[in-house]
Amino acid sequence: MFEKMSQHINLVTGMSERVGIDWGERIMKNPENAKEFRNAVMQCTRCQELGAYQKFQELNGSAANAPDYCMNADLFKEMQQG
């Protein structure tokens, strides 16, 4: 279980960095955002596209948006907008 959570924490953090979201900064500004991060990680654990997601991160150091199959694509888009 801890290995799976660690994997998804890394995936959420990795995609966040690629689309320009800094969770550390968000949490420092408002500690309540830690819940949002936790929810994003839990949402990520439901992903059925892990291989494609990992490949996307391997091939893209940055991205305008998360891929559509990302379980957190809408959240990331919302965060990017404001």
Extract the tokens encoding 25.
């900064």
33 versus 82: which is more confidently predicted?
A: 33
Torsion of CA 26, 6, 44, 36, to 10 degrees: -30
In the predicted model, is pLDDT for residue 2 greater than 90?
A: no
Q: What confidence tier does 77 reach under pLDDT thresholds 50, 70, 90?
A: very high
Looking at residue 79, its pLDDT comes to 94
Residues counted in the chain: 82
Asked whether residue 32 carries a pLDDT value surpassing 80, the answer given is yes
Give the domain ranges of the chain.
2-81
Count of CB atoms situated within 10 Å of the CB of 80: 13
Q: What b/e sequence results for 15-32 when a residue is b if at least 16 CB atoms lie within 10 Å of its CB, and e otherwise?
A: bbebbebebeebeeeeee
